[in-house]
Chains A and B, each alone.
Chain A
Amino acid sequence: MVNLEVSLAGVSLKNPVIPASGTFGYGREFSEVYDLNILGSFSFKGTTAEPRFGNPQPRVAETPCGMLNAVGLQNPGIDSVVAQELPNIAKIFHGPVIANIGGSTAEEYVENCRALDSCEQMGIIEVNISCPNVHCGGRNFGSDPKSAAQVTAAVKAVTKKPVFVKLSPNVTDIAEIARACADAGADGLCLINTLLGMRIDLKTKRPLLANRTGGLSGPAVFPVALRMVWDVYEAVDLPIIGCGGVSSAEDVCEMMLAGAGAVEIGAANLKNPFACKSIIEHLPTVCERLGVTKISELTGGAHRE
């Protein structure tokens, strides 16, 4: 028997598998096809203070081994999420939920955090300072260490929940941003968000996405994400949720060996709605092959001499 339990900043999860924000909505669609209670947690759709429609169509495109999205934080707004989505989440998932929040000002992050702080089911607040598709969607916060620290400190001041800051890969030195968040009091980090990319439609000779650029995800980004998790693990002493192109139980273990305490699965859910379920089912076999009885032993394993 392999023990799949992991702990993130004191929040205990039955396994390290977490559907990533933006690929799982608020859980409704997936709860129609499998019991979400098999999951360690799930990170709900990035939520802002006001409702957002997002960007015009088209806002998704395929790439070799992945995809671009420029959805642009479409969400019904925090009040609607608290009133309508959270009661439904309570019915379909009984573990701790990760609340992914967006914002265009530090105040907006603070307000969103306040709205969620008293919700018992929220295990972790994931502060998205890295959406590449919204100019005021936190990208500026995520690419500058001072701004990242400012948002982290502001949010920490109003919530008792563990705060994980979701980092952008679109920076020169991700470890520098990670250190700034750690110094400002972050309880953990989640990385990476999508990589900024684009495609041009040869039929129209124009950018394929209406937003021109979008965020790259899928297996294509896995080595980049893995390297950044490695770098951040070396730089800070905080729990890390590894995210980016994870598609199999083997990828989960690789991400944990690089330093992740838990792992988010994103684009894989969109290709195969049962991706997380099959990864969880396959994890014990992979752990046995690796000779570990507790999956948490893998975290950071590749750094040890």
Chain B
Amino acid sequence: MKQTLFTIEHTRQLTADTYEMVLSGDTSAITAPGQFVDIALPLRFLRRPVSVANWAKNELLLIVRVAGEGTRELVRSVPGTELDILSGLGNGFDLESCTETPILIGGGVGAAPLFGLAGRMRQRGVTPTVALGFRTAEDAFYLEEFTGLGCRLFIATEDGSLGTKGFVTDLVRAVPECTDAFVCGPTPMLKAVRALPQLKNGQYSFEARMACGFGACVGCTIKTKSGPRRVCKDGPVFHKEEIEW
């Protein structure tokens, strides 16, 4: 964990409630895709945890979904605004155990950390399959960015307005050769994906309401097979075997 001042370089609206933000600042504390940052806002008491979509030396890419007034203030902040950020929080995805045919499964804004993950996999010479689920075509984002990395991309929407009509689980069943999952999205989606017998291995990124973001308050604790674990500090990524449901 490192406390750093980042500067907003630009913000771009991707969908009705989702924004891409590029910030400049010291990213040295970020060591793995799937980690997150915790952003202080001038008018709010608690920081806002946001997963790292991608990073390079001195550049941080965030994809922010507006969930309330705090995140709305964040995406409305003008370029040049400095943000007090705790960087490099949590344990991200573990790439060491990744096989040759990984599948990255994202729901909604859960696609964000998978982008940085896909990029790291490509650097290792692995071409991931990416399965993303959105409510409608209007909610989809970053499709060109994923295909631009050379990923094999499949999309599902609940209303069928883009890609397959249905859920990410339908997409996963269509690629039975993929057994190694990297998953981020809302809890019901995580549960549905984890229940697929096809997926032998899996790393699941959890969402939780947090206060501190660095393990002190234990506000975000979940039950796991190895006992109580903090989503912020012991996660947010947990291996399939650790998850209770």
Contacts and interface: CB of A to CB of B under 8 A. Distances in A.
A94 interface: no
Contacts of B70: 62
A74 B221 contact: yes
A66 B46 CA distance: 8
Contact of B46 (A33, A53, A58, A270): A270
Nearest to A19: B216
Interface in A50-79: 53-54, 57-67, 69, 71, 74
A67 B220 contact: no
Contacts of B46: 60, 62, 67, 270-271
A271 B70 CA distance: 14
Contact of A273 (B1, B221, B233): B1
Given A33-B1, A62-B44, A271-B46, A71 B219 contact: yes
Nearest to A28: B215
Interface string B41-59: 0001111000000000000
Contact of B211 (A32, A60, A65): A60
Contacts of B189: none
Nearest to B212: A270
A23 B208 contact: no
A159 interface: no
Contact of B220 (A57, A269, A273): A57
B152 interface: no
Contact of A57 (B1, B208, B233): B208
A218 B45 CA distance: 8
Contacts of A54: 218, 221, 228
Interface string B204-245: 000011111011111111110000100001000000000000
B40 interface: yes
Contacts of A23: 212, 216-217
B217 A32 contact: no
A120 interface: no
Interface string B67-110: 00010000000000000001000000000000000000000000
Given A29-B233, A32-B1, A53 B221 contact: yes
A273 B214 contact: yes
A69 B216 contact: no
Contacts of A64: 45
A32 B213 CA distance: 14
A63 B45 contact: yes
Interface residues of A, number: 35
A301 interface: no
B216 A59 contact: no
A30 B217 CA distance: 11
Contacts, number: 86
A74 B44 CA distance: 26
Contacts of B222: 57
A174 B1 CA distance: 40
A69 B86 contact: no
A25 interface: yes
B13 interface: no
A29 B218 contact: no
Given A57-B209, A69-B211, A274 B219 contact: no
Contacts of A66: 45
Nearest to A66: B45
B208 A270 contact: no
Interface of A: 22-25, 28-30, 32-33, 45, 53-54, 57-67, 69, 71, 74, 218-219, 267, 269-274
28 contacts: A22-B217, A23-B217, A25-B216, A29-B214, A29-B215, A45-B218, A53-B221, A54-B221, A57-B221, A59-B209, A60-B209, A60-B211, A60-B217, A61-B209, A65-B45, A66-B45, A67-B211, A69-B211, A71-B217, A74-B228, A219-B45, A270-B211, A270-B216, A271-B40, A271-B212, A273-B3, A273-B86, A273-B212
Given A269-B212, A273-B86, 14 more contacts: A23-B212, A24-B216, A54-B218, A57-B220, A58-B208, A59-B221, A60-B46, A60-B211, A62-B45, A67-B45, A74-B218, A74-B228, A271-B45, A274-B3
CB-based closest 8 A-B pairs = A60-B219, A270-B212, A58-B209, A60-B211, A29-B215, A62-B46, A270-B211, A74-B218
